[in-house]
Amino acid sequence: MNILAFDTGLNKTYIALKCGNEFFSETVESTDDKYHSAFLIQKIVGILSEHSLRAQDIDLFATNVGPGSFTGIRVGLTVARGLAQGTQKKAVGINSLELISAAYGLPAIAILDARKNKAYVGNNEKVELVDLENLPTRLRNFDGQIIADTKMHEFLYENGVIACNFEKEGRNYGRVLIELALKKYDMGNAVQWQELKPLYIQPPPIHVKS
């Protein structure tokens, strides 16, 4: 089974390809003038070409559906939906929290900055929005690994909660994307392209011209 998976919702773009029993992955960082998600299509074309594959040769597409960068989520979803629609193949959505926690193994819980004095908290398909004032007390009773982005890592440290900073560690999120996609496919959770939806939790920001 051939699987193409990518994530543009976190701090870098992660792209992975499972071709038969072989696995390939690539990580893309932002440049001075371009956000990392801007390279997604270019990198997908490159990784498929490198392995003599066409989009039609992929059996399943997977992407991070959020929460995370609103721009990144939109880019990943648009590309995944387009590929699935164009090839008439199915797709799988994976949320940021289950991706991060799965990379560290269980028991683990992931924390992402949600702005507005809130945090996204989760370790599987369930994602909660938690007020920062309640977060430290809640986490002190958690008997497992706590993983956070840079801002939440600093906040937790200041409040006496020890956590890993996933943005400073080089975990292979591409492989985890493939593993989660295959697991969801085996469980019958793959969907048609039009059923692939973003997991925003909060409404996207609206920019109004003054």
Over residues 106-116, mean pLDDT: 92
The verdict on 116 and 41 lying in the same domain is: no
Q: What's the pLDDT at 61?
A: 98
pLDDT at 40 over 60: yes
Q: What is the pTM of this model?
A: 0.92
57 and 136 part of one domain: no
- Hey, is 17 helix, strand or coil? strand
Beta-bridged to residue 147, according to DSSP, are: 110, 164
Q: Is residue 207 part of a domain?
A: no
- In this structure, the answer to whether residues 153 and 185 fall within a common structural domain is no
Domain limits at 185?
Answer: 3-97+170-195
Report pLDDT digits (tens) over 125-179: 789 999 999 999 999 888 899 999 999 999 999 999 999 999 999 888 999 999 9
Average pLDDT over residues 116-129: 91
Asked if 77 and 122 sit in the same domain, the reply is no
Number of independent structural domains in the chain: 2
Over 60: is that where the pLDDT of 206 sits? no
- CA atoms within 13 A of residue 139's CA, in its CB half-sphere: 30
Please state, rounded to an integer, the average pLDDT across all residues of the chain.
Answer: 93
The answer on 92 and 52 residing in a single domain is yes
Same domain, 24 and 84: yes
Asked if 27 and 87 sit in the same domain, the reply is yes
Q: For residue 124, what pLDDT is reported? A: 81
> Within this chain, do residues 23 and 10 fall inside the same structural domain, yes or no?
yes
- The answer to whether residue 204 sits within a structural domain is no
80 and 112 share a domain?
Answer: no
Do 86 and 111 fall into the same domain? no
* Residue 140 falls inside a structural domain: yes
CATH number, position 177: 3.30.420.40
Same domain, residue pair 181 and 91: yes
3-state secondary structure 84-149: HHHHCCEEEEEEHHHHHHHHHCCCEEEEEEEECCEEEEECCCCEEEEEHHHHHHHHHCCCCEEEEC
Indicate whether 47 and 118 sit together in one domain: no
